Amino acid sequence: MLAQQKQEIAALFQAALAPVLEGSGLAPTVVLERPRDPSHGDIACNIAMQLAKQLKMNPRELATKIVAGLLENPAGKGLVESADIAGPGFINLRVAASAKQSVVRTIMQQQGQFGRSELGQGKKVILEFVSANPTGPLHVGHGRQAALGDAMSALFEAQGYDVTREFYYNDAGVQIATLANSVQARARGIKPGDAGWPESAYNGDYIQDIADDYLAGKTVSASDGQPATASGDVDDLESIRKFAVTYLRNEQDIDLQAFGVKFDNYYLESSLYLEGKVEAAVDTLLRAGHTYEQDGALWLRTTDYGDDKDRVMRKSDGTFTYFVPDVAYHITKWQRGFGQAINIQGSDHHGTIARVRAGLQAVDMGIPQGYPDYVLHKMVTVMKDGEEVKISKRAGSYVTVRDLIEWSGGGDIGKGRDAVRFFLISRKADTEFVFDVDVALATSDENPVYYVQYAHARICSALANWGGDEAQLANADLSLLATPHEASLLAKLAAYPEVLARAQSELGPHQVAFYLRELAGELHSYYFAHKWLLDDDEPLKLARLALASATRQVLRNGLALIGVSAPNKM
């Protein structure tokens, strides 16, 4: 049932309640639900049971009055087929067949806009994801963040929000120093295992690639920054650092481009220090009176805001702990006007949530409790040829996003991207996920992305075999869609807008993947159960092709939202 139809039925209930509620001062909200048992109807409402005590009426008697008023209302003609009362006062409605069939026409009219709304219009939201240290290639965990973050961003956009996708670069700290030392060692001809190789150095082959380009005096550029030209001087550690960071940021840009993910903004951790934002955040906390000195360190009373213990902000050596720049960074999000901020990160960030939120409360800037929202994902295990893959030659110690895309596409980057993006959002973020490359390569129902894409291609093939003008389908007699398979497919199509709204509000893009698999299943079942290209019944043929065309549109809309292509041929 479409959202507008649901609103119209709620209005029918309100109109039926009006004479009953007159003078009572009550203004109840009508909640419509789907019956657990579909045989009971399309809509269930327990408003009579809610109001009976307050109105001092028997709930079944009240339900009878509501149903009578509802069925007498001419506005319900063509929308409500019947209404009955069950048990102590539940009201069950059956929606008219013509109203259910009208979803096909609605989809044809709205096309790519079907499922979208303007509920979030005027609201700004920022989603931060991937946010990898520029110390190596993007790993599979970053890939899960990219898939989740981009799909969530698209869900918010589909609800009318002003969305910003942001990548926060941790380009300051110990890991960057380790990167520079690793490249310097390689530039000097020292390899992992050699005497003089730094103990904590990065061992991947990519370090040698950076060193080679540095010695060759090459120039590299990241998507949003100034080019870095290598001096070639192996003793110039600062030059090596700048070149290596820019080199790896460019490599990550290439990985993200292959993955089909684009960011609106890149934010550098180093800029927080250069622009004095970290010091400003600390000064604000000092003035607010939520800090104290102990053992030569500066502490924040995070226990005042629900943390399990107070946290050190500034160590005795004068350096800040890692959560302090995080607080400063999130203050900038609030100052930039983002009323909602969502961070998609690995589950290893769980310990930072309470202290960052406590710091944001302690600055007394009106930032709401629970800001920002966090979506924490669990690890991804990669299986290939029946065995777990743990090491990539390129990265040295983990499987990269680029590895996974190349493996999953069998050399076809587009196919690999589709598989990886679909697979990595197909489970709730907080569940561990096993990515089986062999399944991603399968051309069978076992492969979920193939299964969904094949449903789209199957419809394209049927319409091509028909060879008619698809504009004719807008005038098809939809009342002929009367089989159980057709009723089930119509109901699934009508549910799409509600699925998007729920997935956005619950920060759960996996719901879209589930829906697409179910819709594809309905389509495949319908295809095998009923002939579409009838030779002896032109009106029914057009009605069935119209239903198939509407299904193709919804499949295309849903796949586009999660960053997956909808091929016309498989």
Query: If you compute the radius of gyration of the chain from its CA atoms, what whole number of angstroms results?
Result: 29
At residue 231, what is the residue type?
Answer: S
Residue 108 phi/psi, 5-degree rounding, is -65, -35
**pLDDT surpasses 80 at 391:** no
Mean pLDDT within 283-289: 94
Give me the pLDDT at residue 170, please.
Answer: 86
Q: How confident is the model at residue 398 (pLDDT cuts 50, 70, 90)?
A: confident
In three-state secondary structure terms, 293 is strand
Token pair, residue 180, equals: 């520079």
**pLDDT surpasses 70 at 396:** no
Residue closest to 152 by CA, chosen among 342, 376, 370, 329: 342
Q: How confident is the model at residue 36 (pLDDT cuts 50, 70, 90)?
A: confident
Pairing status of strand 340-346 against strand 373-377? parallel
Q: How confident is the model at residue 544 (pLDDT cuts 50, 70, 90)?
A: very high
Token pair, residue 11, equals: 């209005």
Mean pLDDT within 72-86: 95
Q: How confident is the model at residue 363 (pLDDT cuts 50, 70, 90)?
A: very high
Give me the pLDDT at residue 397, please.
Answer: 64
Give the whole-angstrom CA distance, residue 162 versus residue 523: 34
Mean pLDDT within 307-332: 94
Mean pLDDT within 341-346: 97
Q: Are 382 and 399 in contact (CB under 8 A)?
A: yes
| 153-176 pLDDT, tens digit each | 999 999 999 999 999 988 877 889
Give the whole-angstrom CA distance, residue 82 versus residue 42: 10
At residue 481, what is the residue type?
Answer: L
Pairing status of strand 433-436 against strand 380-384? parallel
Give the whole-angstrom CA distance, residue 275 versus residue 527: 62
Residue closest to 111 by CA, chosen among 552, 559, 563: 552
Give me the pLDDT at residue 136, please.
Answer: 87
The structure's pTM equals 0.92
Q: Are 530 and 481 in contact (CB under 8 A)?
A: no
Mean pLDDT within 86-92: 94
| 92-119 pLDDT, tens digit each | 999 999 999 999 999 999 999 999 999 9
Q: What percent of the chain has pLDDT over 70?
A: 99
**pLDDT surpasses 80 at 426:** yes
Identify the weakest region by mean pLDDT among 211-225, 324-338, 395-409, 530-544.
Answer: 395-409
